[in-house]
Each structure stands twice: as structure tokens, then as C-alpha cells.
Amino acid sequence: MKWEGDRQSDNVEDRRGSGGGGFGLGGRSIGIGTLVIALVGSYFLGVSPTTILNMLGGGEAPQVAQTQTVPANDRETQFVRTTLAYTEDAWVELFRQQGAQYSPAKLVLFNNRTETACGQGQSATGPFYCPADQKVYIDLSFFRLMQSRFNVAGEFAQAYVIAHEIGHHVQNQLGISNQVHEAQQRASEAQGNALSVKLELQADCFAGVWAHHTHQREQFLEKGDVEAALNAATAIGDDALQKQSQGVVVPDSFTHGSSAQRVRWFSRGLESGKVETCNTFEARQL
Ligand SMILES: [Zn+2]
């Protein structure tokens, strides 16, 4: 997959490494303790915290930095930003063709666990989309896991995972997820699961549609890329990954369909490039 130098999305929210570090303060680092003293001091003494910080630090007037951490800008982060930008470019255009407007999802990078509007997100569940806050959540260690446990390598396989989650965002924007969840309220458990599978396979198909359009636009696919994505679809089918999520409300913990079904629907979207071919709900065969 060729992506270097292409546009990077601003819609990545980086929560990795939060909870550490002091506040940057005019070039020196200052611990939380000092800051607490300054804030408490200013509360009781009625002077500004900056004044007290100056007294404590003895320095010249400091400039309080607005951010705690410098955003990561390593290759992997750049890759995620660029892939997200590709999904934005493709879906903005595909929505526009239908006279609609695509509003991009945020993508949250986190380590271990993080709060979401859908409950606590955990690395063990794999990447997921939360419709309530319209964010995709990914712990990048998942990509290492794909490689070590499922022997799925290659950046396009990772891009496919992101595109699948964005596929859920597209379903949310189109009102499909809501319709499915309403139908599930009235359905038996078996029918409800069948609907979940159809939703998952449609997200795979949407990922294929995305790849089709992005390749048309950017010529980003290289030899072996599609096979790598199909390997990923095979490896993270039903049987593989999503079984560790008990007890946590994570929308993408539903059954995903068999590996063969995932491969079929991704391929269908990839070949056609058309959203209409992704109607898993009316397909005679999945
Ligand atoms: Zn999914």
C-alpha cells in the first residue's frame, strides 16, 4: 500500500499516554504537585496561580502551555491519519453523488482501556465503533496481534480494519444501524444475531467500496494487498477474535459472519465500487 505523503486527517484523537507527565511551563516542566500548591495557594491568597508559580519557580513570567503532550507523529500514527483521510475523501464523494453530506467520524487511539459513550472500551475486544459518540476506537497493539497471532501482515490489512469500522459509521449516518437495532428489539435472539451478521458483512462490503474508490483516486494498492486484506477478513471472522468481550458494552462485539462470507462481501464491494451492491439485508445468500 502506497500512502506516504498523502493527506493526513485531523480527526484522530490521541489518548495514548494520557495520565502522565507534568504541564509544560515556559520551557521547564513542572509537576502536578507544584501546580496544585499554586492553585490552592491562589484560592486562599486571592492571587493568580501564575504569580505563585513565579514565586515558587523564581523565574520570569512563564507561558502556560495549552497541551500536556506533543501529538505522536511516528510512521504508524501518520499511516492511521492518512487511511482515515482516504475514508473521508471517498465517503464525502460517495455521499455527494447521492445528494447527501458525509460527516466524518473521529478515530480515537488509546492504550489498554478508555471511556466511550458505549461503556468502557478495552483493547482485548479489538477495534470498534461507538454510534453514540460516532467514534472509532483502536488500540494499535491490535495490529501487532493480527501479525503475531493470525499471521496477517501488511498495511493494507490494517487499513481494511479501519475501513470496516468506518463502514459502521457510514451505516450509522445512513440510518441503517438504527433500523437494525429497532428490528432487533422485536426479533428472536436467532433473528437478532442474523441481523448483526448482515450489518457486519455490509461493513465489510463498504470497506471494499472504499478501497475501490481510493484506488481509483490514489492508485494506492500494490501487489499482494488485496490478498492481505482477505487474509485479515478470514482471520478475524467469527471464529477468531471477538469472543473476549463479555461484560463490556462494545457494539462491535457481535458475531461477524464466517470467514468465507466476509471475504465474499469485501470482494463484492471492491469489484463494484457501488454502495447498492452491499445490500446484505436483501441478499438471497450471504
Ligand atoms: Zn464490525
pLDDT tens digits, one per residue of 232-259: 877 776 444 444 344 333 444 446 777 7
Looking at the domain assignment, is residue 2 inside a domain? no
CA of 204 to the centre of ligand 1 (A): 8
pLDDT at site 209: 98
Looking at the domain assignment, is residue 6 inside a domain? no
Question: Domain residues for 272?
Answer: 12-282
Comparison of pLDDT for 125 and 68, the residue scoring more: 125
pLDDT(97) > 50: yes
CA of 252 to the centre of ligand 1 (A): 5
CA of 2 to the centre of ligand 1 (A): 25
CA of 203 to the centre of ligand 1 (A): 6
pLDDT(121) > 70: yes
At 30, is the pLDDT very low, low, confident or very high (cuts 50, 70, 90)?
very low
Average pLDDT, the chain: 81
At 180, is the pLDDT very low, low, confident or very high (cuts 50, 70, 90)?
very high
CA of 251 to the centre of ligand 1 (A): 8
Q: How many domains does the chain have?
A: 1
CA of 93 to the centre of ligand 1 (A): 23
Looking at the domain assignment, is residue 1 inside a domain? no
Cα 284 from chain centroid (whole Å): 31
Here the cell at position 169 is: 459509521
Q: List Cβ<8 Å contacts ≥24 apart for 212-218.
A: 212/269, 212/270, 212/271, 212/272, 212/273, 213/90, 213/93, 213/94, 213/273, 214/86, 214/89, 214/90, 216/273, 217/89, 217/90, 218/2, 218/3, 218/6, 218/86
Beta carbons of 221 and 150 less than 8 angstroms apart: no
pLDDT at site 237: 60
If you average pLDDT over residues 178-190, what whole number do you get? 92
Looking at the domain assignment, is residue 56 inside a domain? yes
CA of 108 to the centre of ligand 1 (A): 16
CA of 60 to the centre of ligand 1 (A): 53
CA of 160 to the centre of ligand 1 (A): 11
Q: Percent of the chain scored above 70 by pLDDT?
A: 74
If you average pLDDT over residues 26-37, what whole number do you get? 46
CA of 280 to the centre of ligand 1 (A): 14
CA of 5 to the centre of ligand 1 (A): 29
At 174, is the pLDDT very low, low, confident or very high (cuts 50, 70, 90)?
very high
Looking at the domain assignment, is residue 5 inside a domain? no
63-67, 153-157, 187-191: the lowest-pLDDT one: 63-67
Looking at the domain assignment, is residue 16 inside a domain? yes
Looking at the domain assignment, is residue 269 inside a domain? yes
Provide the β-strand partners of residue 128.
137
CA of 167 to the centre of ligand 1 (A): 8
pLDDT at site 51: 55
Instruction: Give the list of residues 6+ apart from residue 139 with CB closer than 8 angstroms, or none.
Output: 109, 110, 111, 112, 123, 127
Instruction: Dump pLDDT digits (tens) for 48-87.
Output: 555 555 555 544 444 554 445 667 889 999 999 999 999 9
pTM attached to this predicted model = 0.78
pLDDT at site 46: 52
pLDDT(118) > 70: yes
CA of 68 to the centre of ligand 1 (A): 33
Dihedral pair phi/psi, residue 114, rounded to 5°: -155, 155
Looking at the domain assignment, is residue 3 inside a domain? no
